[in-house]
Amino acid sequence: MSVPKLEDVAKLAQVSKTTVSRVLNRRGYLSKETIDKVNQAVKELNYHPNVVARQLYNNKTDLIGLLFPTVANPFFGELTANLEHYLYQKGYKVLIGNSINDPQKEADYLDQLLVKQVDGLIVGTHNQGISQYHNDNLPIVAIDRVMNQDIPIIASDNYAGGKLAVEHLLVQGARKIIHINGPQELATPAQKRRAAYEDVMHDHHLQPITYEVDFNISNTDKLKVFRQIFVEHPDVEAIFASNDLDAALIMQIARERRLRVPRDLLLVGYDGTQTVQSVWPQLTTVIQPIEFMAQKAVTVLQNRLHNQATQSEYLLPVQLHVGTTC
């Protein structure tokens, strides 16, 4: 049995192939009678349009590329799941790449995504200066990352989040507070958490101490750095971690050293993913509005796709979840 073609639909509906194409692509004015005749013919013949041909005709693929460090991280995993959900609602399908913060792997993924002719990109990778991001014809939105001046950024209010965390620690009586953050040369909105921490500490005439930890290193290497904190600062009273996974590693070390949280050590994280809140609701943490961030990113990308004006940055509100670790 032969596969029905466009001309078969036109013949059954007694219209031209152009009219069938216009009905399928919803272009131009057509009477309801004509539209109904074509749709009925499509149904009777079980006709499936040539998707590739339609994409070429419309000059779009309805594919969106998502590029993040790793979906194994609860924050990026939850963010990616929400992005896929909202993009699917808008009629898009997604292609996902995990760069593992490797510039070469990121560039390779970008090349593959461009070959697939994605309509746009949503990225949350750390690397800058990659030539593919300077593509005037490709709408791009960044989440919590600074890519270049032309790419809008969706981020939680990191400064407000850092301030909430540190002020809460101060209210609990801590004075020797240490902060963990990424390398300062890494231009990300998360650096504003550090800025808030240092500002609040200075406002209270306290000495800020920040340990820089590369996002790329293994948990084993992170544990070595975190253990060193307790060696170099045995009188530490509180730690403000830059993410909840680091907070979990700090908790592991506290148990090793027989420190009781919160009696001997106060601890605050950052992210507040549903995964972490489910398995460790006791953690005091700053909650990023991950679902709202995804929704906003999709909206902004759609605006870019339709050549509508967008802001350079969108700051979304955070909240402090108070558990028993602080």
Give the end-to-end CA distance of the chain in Å, rounded to a whole number. Answer: 70
Residue 13: domain span: 6-58
User: What pLDDT, on the 0 to 100 scale, is given for residue 18?
Assistant: 87
User: What pLDDT, on the 0 to 100 scale, is given for residue 134?
Assistant: 64
C-alpha pair distances (Å), 261 with each of 187, 213, 219, 323? 32, 22, 21, 11
Give me the sign of the Cα torsion angle 10, 15, 19, 24.
Answer: negative
Tell me, yes or no, whether 46 lies in a domain.
Answer: yes
User: What pLDDT, on the 0 to 100 scale, is given for residue 58?
Assistant: 55
Q: State the pairing for strand pair 266-271/209-212.
A: unpaired
CATH code of the domain covering residue 175? 3.40.50.2300
229: helix, strand or coil: helix
| C-alpha–C-alpha distance, residues 114 and 125, integer Å | 17
| C-alpha–C-alpha distance, residues 208 and 202, integer Å | 7
25: helix, strand or coil: helix
User: What pLDDT, on the 0 to 100 scale, is given for residue 132?
Assistant: 60
Residue 99 · residue 130 · CB < 8 Å: no
Q: What is the DSSP letter of 281?
A: T
Tell me, yes or no, whether 24 lies in a domain.
Answer: yes
Domain match, 48 and 170 both: no
Residue 90: name the closest of 64, 116, 69, 68 by CA: 64
| C-alpha–C-alpha distance, residues 271 and 12, integer Å | 58
Cβ neighbours of residue 85 under 8 Å, at least 6 residues apart? 294
Identity of the residue numbered 288: Q
CATH code of the domain covering residue 15? 1.10.260.40
Prediction pTM value? 0.80
Radius of gyration of the chain (CA): 26
Tell me, yes or no, whether 81 lies in a domain.
Answer: no
Where in the chain does DSSP place strands (E)? 63-68, 93-98, 120-123, 140-143, 153-156, 177-181, 209-212, 238-240, 266-271, 284-287, 313-316, 319-321
Tell me, yes or no, whether 203 lies in a domain.
Answer: yes
- Per residue of the chain (326 residues), what is the pLDDT tens digit? 567 888 899 999 999 988 988 888 777 788 999 999 999 998 888 887 765 455 545 567 888 999 888 888 899 999 999 999 999 999 899 988 877 666 677 777 777 676 667 888 999 886 666 666 666 668 899 998 888 778 999 999 999 999 999 999 999 999 999 999 988 877 788 899 999 999 999 999 999 999 999 877 889 999 999 999 999 999 999 999 999 999 999 999 999 999 999 999 999 999 999 999 999 999 999 999 999 999 999 999 999 998 899 999 999 999 999 999 98
261: Cα within 13 Å, side-chain hemisphere: 24
Tell me, yes or no, whether 32 lies in a domain.
Answer: yes
Total domains, the chain:
2
DSSP string covering 26-43, please? Answer: T-S---HHHHHHHHHHHH
Tell me, yes or no, whether 101 lies in a domain.
Answer: no
Tell me, yes or no, whether 166 lies in a domain.
Answer: yes
Please name the residue that has the structure tokens 């979840």.
321
Tell me, yes or no, whether 13 lies in a domain.
Answer: yes
User: What pLDDT, on the 0 to 100 scale, is given for residue 266?
Assistant: 98
Cβ neighbours of residue 201 under 8 Å, at least 6 residues apart? 166, 177, 207, 208
Q: What is the DSSP letter of 245?
A: H
Cβ neighbours of residue 151 under 8 Å, at least 6 residues apart? 133, 140, 141, 142
Q: What is the DSSP letter of 17?
A: H
Residue 118 · residue 95 · CB < 8 Å: yes
